[in-house]
């Protein structure tokens, strides 16, 4: 394996390219170039110690000032914690040695909504509903956590093939929203000082910006609602609702011009039949496009709920609407708005196309209205010019309107079926991951050469300035993995690749996530002193080894051990029995059964147990119920029985319980009323649950975070639980 410290400066400043095979930050190896856009360059990379293939976006240096990057990094800490089925996961944000900012995220194989619209012009209503339902769900999740996107547009909505049998539409793609907060990075330093938030800043793309965003006002989550409305309008009609001749004119129109109804804006192909939009859908889009944030929805979760009802063909009585005999809904709000918007938009279109006051057929009243509107538009444009920064930024944004999506199109989707390529997409991802887990002959030679030439401990104690440190001298030809430095309250203070020279304070608790080198050669762990490692994640070793337990039983401070997907034989129980310091044990997908694990002697010491995917789970749960020491239990996809749920109900010290994908019923959940310390409960993909479970959850007064099925993640249920549970912070679903 090449030395990760080499090639760090292989970024070509003239062309902005990274060489395949080069390293970034000593952590990522470049596998391929994906594409480029106005903000930077996108690469397919391999995370060296996680053995995971990701996408890495390296930003153009001229796009990001040091101050802007500093402010974004603070917000990025919250963005990186977003974990939702419709939000792309961000893993790392840092800078190269040359000072170029980059961030990594899930590698998505699909196409952006912008690419789709470029090819097919617009979406049928039946295809648009599930797409925008997911967009609203993902944004609502982020908004609940205080995160605003600021740049919702078709290019930031990715469409991936979905193989789920539970999809409401067999052709509906999975949606991933990308580039959260990245719009901030396109701002230029204008000398406004050092504050973390500054009035008058404008971020976003002019075609999709809200009125308050165009004028640089303080933003809240409702700015994203307007951008969603613009994007929906364009996706359904083939054109944006408001489009001026310049970016400045477009921003002025967003602030003063009422958009038309979709039915009046759609451009039909020759001989194409007229398109009729459901009045409920017209109402939703019209409300999203209100000029005042107060006139929009309270939450995009409400929009997701209404779109879901339309998708299912249900009759829903909404604000301002009454049920009709024909199975639809009379929407007086939408009817009145359509008339008002049609009149206003017709006047505006006439003005922007150069009509004069002497046009035939125009009466005095309409000429007076036209003059007033011209003056209003002129005043708005003048105001923007005075503000200055808004005009400057939107003009700069014109250069980036054609920016490619974060992940360029890799596989084309047929208009009729986006599932067609699902198997190929899965094969691509699995092959990439499998290849990264295999050690090359050069890697093996480097590891075995090191083992034959080195012995003793990696670290030496030193004293500097009266403080004690440990200086580690790790291998340089390969990495041992990712070393996490944690301090008080388990807070992460630093993470770095375990290669070369590393310094740790005497107060650091060290956690190791091993690289494939350590998974294949556990004897590399003998270089750690007995009191150095607090946590070890020895996951995904598919072949049994008798070397691991004799080594780690000497780690006197080891409190957490992960053996997810690692092959264990019944004879390895003796090794587990000797790990008396371990308090947290993760054995997901273990080859040991629950019956075998129930005999493990360290069970009385455990406060956390992960047994997702373990078979014959009942004897183990019976044993844990007898001990009643667990505080955290993860038992996802374990085919729980009613007896299993009864045993879980006796774990009265539980604060966190995850049963994702289990076949539990409403009756099973009833038993959990005994869990009076429970704060976190994950019931996602438990598809047998009904509305009755919501009533049960309302009685668990200590709950703070709840995940349920998509069917139960409704605004009405959230409101019910919010009233009943004083500490509830999160209520959502995940796939």
- 393 sits in the region (left: phi over 0; alpha: psi -120 to 50; else beta) called alpha
- Tokens 């990701």 sit on residue: 54
Res. 100 pLDDT band, cuts 50 70 90: confident
User: CATH for 23-106?
Assistant: 3.30.200.20
pLDDT tens digit string along 445-458?
A: 999 999 999 999 99
Return the structure tokens found at 250.
């477009």
Superfamily of domain 117-411: Transferase(Phosphotransferase) domain 1 (1.10.510.10)
Give the C-alpha separation, 229 to 217, whole Å: 19
Grouping H, G, I as helix, E, B as strand and the rest as coil, residue 329 is strand
| Residue pair 81/60 in contact by the 8 Å Cβ criterion | no
Return the structure tokens found at 679.
């704060």
Q: Which of 517, 408, 319 is nearest to 112 (CA)?
A: 408
Q: Which of 570, 573, 473 is nearest to 528 (CA)?
A: 473
Give the C-alpha separation, 295 to 212, whole Å: 13
Res. 399 pLDDT band, cuts 50 70 90: very low
Return the structure tokens found at 423.
């198997």
Give the C-alpha separation, 514 to 439, whole Å: 14
546 is catalytic: no
The arithmetic mean of pLDDT across residues 353-367, rounded, is 38
Res. 73 pLDDT band, cuts 50 70 90: low
Per-residue pLDDT at 381 exceeds 90: no
Per-residue pLDDT at 230 exceeds 70: yes
pLDDT tens digit string along 348-358?
A: 444 333 333 33
Q: Which helix (H) or strand (E) holds 645?
A: helix 642-649
Q: Which of 211, 204, 226 is nearest to 286 (CA)?
A: 226
Phi, psi for 396 (deg, rounded to 5): -65, -35
Res. 76 pLDDT band, cuts 50 70 90: low
Pairing state of beta strands 608-610 and 632-634?
parallel
Give the pLDDT confidence score for residue 21 in this predicted structure: 82
Phi, psi for 485 (deg, rounded to 5): -100, 120
More confident site: 632 or 322 = 632
Give the pLDDT confidence score for residue 726 in this predicted structure: 92
Give the C-alpha separation, 132 to 168, whole Å: 13
- Domains of the chain: which residue ranges? 23-106, 117-411, 442-537
The arithmetic mean of pLDDT across residues 560-587, rounded, is 94
Give the C-alpha separation, 303 to 306, whole Å: 5
Provide the percentage of residues in the chain whose pLDDT is more than 70: 72
The arithmetic mean of pLDDT across residues 668-686, rounded, is 95
CA 385 remoteness from chain centre: 37
pLDDT tens digit string along 410-461?
A: 322 232 322 222 222 233 233 323 333 457 888 899 999 999 999 999 999 9
Residues 6+ apart with CB under 8 A from 502: 471, 472, 474, 483, 496
Give the C-alpha separation, 561 to 215, whole Å: 53
Q: How many CB atoms lie within 10 A of CB 724?
A: 16
Q: How many CB atoms lie within 10 A of CB 454?
A: 12
Per-residue pLDDT at 378 exceeds 70: no
| Residues in a beta bridge with 58 | 41, 102
Q: 119-123, 237-241, 522-526: which has the highest mean pLDDT? A: 522-526
Give the pLDDT confidence score for residue 274 in this predicted structure: 81
Give the pLDDT confidence score for residue 551 in this predicted structure: 95
Q: Which helix (H) or strand (E) holds 502?
A: strand 501-505
pLDDT tens digit string along 518-554?
A: 999 999 999 999 999 999 999 888 888 889 999 999 9
Give the pLDDT confidence score for residue 355 in this predicted structure: 35
Q: Which of 394, 31, 489 is nearest to 201 (CA)?
A: 394
- Tokens 């990245």 sit on residue: 182
| Residue pair 565/588 in contact by the 8 Å Cβ criterion | yes
| Residue pair 213/222 in contact by the 8 Å Cβ criterion | no
Give the pLDDT confidence score for residue 312 in this predicted structure: 87
Taking CA atoms, 406 is separated from 19, 162, 734, in Å, by 19, 20, 23
pLDDT tens digit string along 161-175?
A: 754 433 334 457 899
User: What is the b/e burial string over 408-429, where b = at least 16 CB atoms within 10 angstroms of the residue's CB?
Assistant: ebbbebeeeebbebbeebeebe
More confident site: 442 or 347 = 442
Return the structure tokens found at 35.
């594409």
Identify the weakest region by mean pLDDT among 141-145, 300-304, 445-449, 577-581.
141-145
3-class DSSP string for 662-725: CCCCHHHHHHHHHCCCCCEEECCCCCCCCHHHHHHHCCCCCCCEEEECCCCCCHHHHHHHHHHC
Give the pLDDT confidence score for residue 64 in this predicted structure: 57
| Residue pair 665/641 in contact by the 8 Å Cβ criterion | no
Same CATH fold assignment for domains 23-106 and 117-411: no
Residues 6+ apart with CB under 8 A from 216: 199, 200, 201, 202, 387, 389, 390
pLDDT tens digit string along 251-303?
A: 888 888 899 999 988 877 767 778 889 999 999 999 999 999 999 999 999 99
Residue tagged active-site, from 115, 151, 179, 662: 151
Q: Where are the beta strands (DSSP E) in 253-356?
A: 322-323, 329-330
Give the C-alpha separation, 325 to 311, whole Å: 19
Give the pLDDT confidence score for residue 289 in this predicted structure: 95
Provide the 8-state DSSP code for 87. B
Per-residue pLDDT at 341 exceeds 70: no
The arithmetic mean of pLDDT across residues 698-715, rounded, is 90
Q: What is the DSSP string of 164-226?
A: -TT-SSTTPPEEEE--TTGGGGG----S--S-SS-TT---S-GGG--HHHHTT----THHHHH
pLDDT tens digit string along 23-64?
A: 887 788 899 888 776 567 888 998 877 778 999 888 765 555
């Amino acid at each position: 394996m090449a030395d990760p410290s080499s090639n760090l400066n292989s970024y070509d400043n003239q062309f902005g390219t990274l060489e395949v095979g080069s390293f970034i930050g000593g952590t990522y190896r470049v596998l391929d170039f994906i594409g480029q856009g106005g903000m930077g360059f996108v690469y397919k990379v391999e995370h060296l110690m996680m053995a995971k293939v990701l996408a890495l976006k390296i930003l153009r240096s001229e796009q990001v000032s040091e101050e802007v990057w500093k402010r974004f990094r603070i917000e990025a800490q919250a963005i990186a914690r977003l974990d939702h089925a419709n939000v792309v996961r961000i893993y790392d944000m840092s800078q190269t040695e040359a000072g170029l900012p980059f961030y990594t995220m899930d590698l998505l194989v699909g196409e952006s909504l912008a690419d789709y619209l470029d090819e097919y012009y617009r979406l049928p209503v039946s295809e648009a509903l599930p797409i925008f339902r997911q967009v609203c769900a993902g944004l609502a999740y982020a908004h609940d956590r205080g995160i605003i996107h600021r740049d919702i547009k078709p290019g930031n909505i990715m469409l991936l093939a979905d193989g789920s049998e539970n999809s409401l539409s067999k052709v509906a793609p999975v949606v991933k929203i990308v580039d959260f907060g990245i719009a901030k990075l396109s701002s230029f330093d204008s000398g406004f000082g050092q504050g973390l938030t500054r009035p008058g800043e404008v971020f976003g793309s002019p075609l999709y910006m809200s009125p308050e965003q165009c004028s640089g006002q303080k933003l809240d989550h409702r700015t994203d609602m307007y951008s969603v409305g613009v994007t929906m309008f364009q996706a359904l009609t083939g054109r944006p609702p408001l489009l001026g001749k310049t970016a400045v004119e477009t921003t002025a129109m967003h602030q003063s011009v009422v958009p038309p109804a979709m039915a009046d804006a759609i451009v039909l192909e020759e001989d194409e039949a007229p398109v009729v939009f459901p009045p409920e859908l017209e109402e939703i889009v019209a409300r999203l496009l209100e000029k005042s944030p107060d006139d929009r929805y309270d939450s995009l979760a409400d929009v997701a709920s209404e779109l879901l009802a339309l998708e299912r063909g249900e009759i829903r009585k909404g604000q301002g609407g009454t049920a009709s005999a024909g199975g639809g809904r009379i929407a007086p709000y939408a009817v009145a708005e359509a008339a008002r918007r049609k009149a206003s938009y017709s006047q505006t279109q006439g003005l922007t196309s150069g009509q004069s006051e002497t046009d035939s057929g125009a009466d005095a009243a309409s000429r007076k209205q036209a003059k007033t509107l011209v003056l209003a538009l002129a005043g708005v444009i003048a105001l923007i010019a005075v503000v200055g920064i808004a005009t400057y930024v939107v003009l700069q944004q014109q250069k980036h309107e054609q920016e490619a999506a974060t992940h360029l199109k890799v596989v084309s989707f047929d208009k009729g079926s986006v599932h067609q390529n699902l198997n190929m997409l899965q094969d691509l991802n699995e092959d990439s991951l499998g290849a990264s887990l295999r050690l090359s002959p050069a890697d093996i030679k480097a590891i075995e050469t090191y083992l034959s030439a080195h012995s003793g401990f990696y670290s030496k104690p030193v004293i500097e300035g009266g403080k004690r440190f440990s200086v580690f001298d790790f291998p340089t030809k390969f990495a041992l993995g990712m070393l996490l430095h944690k301090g008080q309250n388990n807070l992460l203070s630093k993470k770095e690749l375990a290669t070369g020279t590393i310094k740790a304070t005497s107060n650091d608790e060290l956690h190791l996530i091993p690289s494939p080198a350590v998974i294949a050669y556990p004897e590399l762990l003998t270089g750690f002193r007995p009191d150095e490692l607090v946590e070890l994640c020895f996951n995904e070793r598919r072949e049994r080894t008798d070397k691991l337990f004799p080594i780690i039983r000497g780690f006197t401070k080891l409190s957490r051990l992960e053996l997810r997907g690692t092959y264990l034989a019944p004879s390895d129980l003796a090794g587990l029995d000797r790990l008396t310091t371990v308090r947290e044990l993760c054995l997901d997908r273990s080859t040991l059964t629950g019956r075998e694990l129930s005999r493990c002697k360290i069970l009385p010491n455990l406060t956390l147990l992960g047994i997702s995917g373990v078979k014959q789970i009942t004897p183990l749960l019976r044993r844990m119920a007898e001990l009643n020491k667990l505080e955290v239990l993860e038992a996802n996809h374990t085919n729980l029985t009613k007896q299993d749920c009864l045993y879980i109900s006796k774990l009265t010290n539980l604060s966190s319980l995850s049963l994702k994908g289990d076949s539990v019923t409403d009756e099973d959940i009833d038993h959990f009323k005994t869990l009076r310390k429970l704060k976190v409960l994950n019931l996602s993909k438990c598809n047998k649950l009904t509305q009755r479970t919501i009533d049960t959850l309302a009685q668990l007064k200590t709950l703070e975070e709840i995940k349920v099925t998509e069917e139960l993640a409704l605004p009405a249920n959230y409101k019910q639980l919010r009233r009943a549970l004083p500490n509830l912070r999160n209520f959502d679903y995940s796939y």
